[in-house]
Amino acid sequence: MPALNLKSVGLVSNPRLDSARRESQVIGVLPAAERAALAKNALDTAEELLSRGLLEQAGERFQAAARAYDELGDAAGGARALLGLGRVLLGLEDPVCREVLEDAGTWLEDLGDEAAVREVDGLLRVAEKSIDESPRSFHAIPIHDVPQTGQVRSSSEPPASARK
């Protein structure tokens, strides 16, 4: 069988797609319908993992789904993936959950999904009550123990106000 005359063709450079190609390694290779099926599968898998309490694994799948829906330009799918990711981050008590949930809520509001917006509002209230934004290490040193110089006194020394 004779060898086919193949010639090398460089990829057409499109700055918008170049970064997506590097990140996903799938864009431009799979038809849109298959990419949509993969995004849906990632979202369904994430929901299943979340229902089993496997938060880290669910978070990875929600992130993959959000990226895939973003590449597809599917705002509804992306909003659902962000909502799921926000629930995962809330379960992990990560303060970033607020930002993710607010983004999801904005998208869902734009889409007119009132039930999902109410869910986001409830989750944001839970986050507000349950997650302390400041790291606990900032609360470890009482204010009177931090002198004006910024130096922390040793625990064996009395506060300056107690010394004469």
State the CATH class of domain 22-129: mainly alpha
Give yes or no for a contact between 107 and 79, defined as CB atoms under 8 angstroms apart: yes
Place of tokens 């090398």: 8
pLDDT in tens, 84-135: 999 999 999 999 999 999 999 999 999 999 999 999 999 999 999 987 654 4
User: Can you give the pLDDT at residue 101?
Assistant: 95
User: Can you give the pLDDT at residue 28?
Assistant: 56
User: Can you give the pLDDT at residue 23?
Assistant: 56
Q: What is the pTM of this model?
A: 0.65
Domain limits of the chain? 22-129
Residue 15 has pLDDT above 80, yes or no: no
Instruction: Calculate the alpha carbon distances from 130 to 8, 87, 92, 98 in Å.
Output: 58, 13, 11, 11
Beta strand ranges found along the chain (DSSP E): none
Nearest to 20, CA basis, from 65, 63, 60, 71: 71
Structure tokens at 163: 């010394």
pLDDT in tens, 129-140: 987 654 443 344
pLDDT in tens, 25-72: 545 578 888 999 999 999 999 999 999 999 999 999 999 999 999 999
DSSP one-letter code for 152: P
Instruction: Calculate the alpha carbon distances from 6 to 2, 78, 85 in Å.
Output: 12, 40, 46
| Residue type (1 letter), 129 | K
Instruction: Write the Ramachandran bin of 107: left for phi over 0, alpha for psi from -120 to 50, otherwise beta.
Output: alpha
For residue 68, give the 3-state DSSP assignment. helix
Give yes or no for a contact between 141 and 119, defined as CB atoms under 8 angstroms apart: no
Q: What percentage of the chain has pLDDT greater than the value 70?
A: 63
